[in-house]
Structure 1
Amino acid sequence: MARIAGVDLPRDKRIEIGLTYIYGIGLSRSHEVLAKTGVNPDTRVKELSDEDVAKLREAVENDYQIEGDLRRWENMNIKRLMDIGSYRGRRHRAGLPVRGQRTRTNARTRRGARRTVAGKKKAK
């Protein structure tokens, strides 16, 4: 069981995919780390030697901002936008799309599903 940055990597996946389970590491950064450490990307996680795991752990934890530090940094940036009252900060605070998407229709992920009251009959 390979454990890097507090994350258990899935045993049966290739290491290039397994590294993407760490928050802050995608496929391109995974390839970068593997090239830097010299580990074969086709190796399964369960086949890694302790030496390889140590090399990967060192490269990932020392060279990149990942997991808790990265989440904290992103939340501080959003909080800063909200504190200074910028347009993007106001959109974050209101729970609306931040990057210019339309909201008259769509935007269900940010706004949530709304109940419609269309076709309501008047009482006589």
Structure 2
Amino acid sequence: MASVSMASSLLPLSSSLSIASRGSSFSCPGSVSFPTPSPPSKQRGALTIRCVRVGGVEIPNNKRVEFSLRYIHGIGRVRARQILCDLSLENKVTKDLSDEELISLRDEVSKYMIEGDLKRFNRLAIERLKEIRCYRGIRHEMGLPCRGQRTKNNCRTLKGKKVSVAGKKKASR
């Protein structure tokens, strides 16, 4: 008797629930509703923040700051930790940073050569080596390794795909 009364008390509730699946929802009697997950965002006033922009790059806000900073070209593991130590920030999730912490993070990152400036610097350094025709510049022009690696067997990345060379044909008599 107790189970029948419990089932009848749940019946009106279960008919009002629906299943939501990937943008579409449909009602199904006796089913439970599960909301679809929304992308992580943060409310700041009337604006909704989905990504944090640091150094001209959108870094993921669902990861810790140390790992998010690595998405910026020119910032690796050591430099990301160094930035956090200099600012004495906790390594918390990026979306949990306050406005003041974000501003100080942007100022600290702007002190380093990152992204386009770093790529331009490296490109100009290689062009200078090519102009003065030093060993490293010549190796860069030829597309070969310039740091002493052997090239008989490996270095396929720099040399490109193998090209088959036709062997000499024996002269017929």
TM-score (norm 2): 0.65
- Match of 1:3, SS? strand
C-alpha displacement of 1:9: 0.5
Q: State the Cα deviation string for residues 50-98 of structure 1 (Å, max 9, x = none).
A: 211111000110x211111111111111111000000000000111111
Task: In structure 2, give the amino acid aligned to 1:28.
Answer: V
- Pairing partner for 2:96 from 13, 24, 47: 47
**Partners of 2:86 and 2:129 in 1: CA distance:** 36
**Partners of 1:10 and 1:67 in 2: CA distance:** 17
- Pairing partner for 1:8 from 41, 58, 61: 58
Relative to its length, the structure with more helix (as a share) is 1
RMSD in angstroms over aligned alpha carbons?
Answer: 2.0
Q: 2:22 matched to which residue of 1? A: none
Relative to its length, the structure with more strand (as a share) is 2
Q: State the Cα deviation string for residues 12-42 of structure 1 (Å, max 9, x = none).
A: 111001101111111100011111112112x
Counterparts of 1:9-48 in structure 2, within 5 Å, are: 9-41=59-91, 43-48=92-97
Q: Is 1:72 matched with 2:120?
A: yes
Taking only the aligned residue pairs, the percentage that are identical comes to: 47
Q: Is 1:58 matched with 2:107?
A: yes
C-alpha displacement of 1:118: 7.4
Task: State which structure, 1 or 2, has the greater radius of gyration over its C-alpha atoms.
Answer: 2
Task: In structure 2, give the amino acid aligned to 1:94.
Answer: M
- Match of 1:65, SS? coil
**Partners of 1:51 and 1:101 in 2: CA distance:** 48
Cα 1:118–1:31 change in 2 (3 A) is same
C-alpha displacement of 1:117: 5.0
- Pairing partner for 2:131 from 83, 88, 96: 83
Q: 2:164 matched to which residue of 1? A: 116
Q: Is there any run of 5+ residues in structure 2 with no aligned partner, and where?
A: 1-50
Task: In structure 1, give the amino acid aligned to 2:140.
Answer: H
C-alpha displacement of 1:2: 1.2
**Partners of 1:118 and 1:84 in 2: CA distance:** 36
Q: Is there any run of 5+ residues in structure 1 with no aligned partner, and where?
A: none
Q: Mean alpha-carbon deviation: is it higher for 15-24 or for 47-56?
A: 47-56
C-alpha displacement of 1:116: 3.0
Which runs of structure 1 show a deviation greater than 6 angstroms over 4 or more consecutive aligned residues? none
**Partners of 2:161 and 2:131 in 1: CA distance:** 28
**Partners of 2:166 and 2:64 in 1: CA distance:** 52
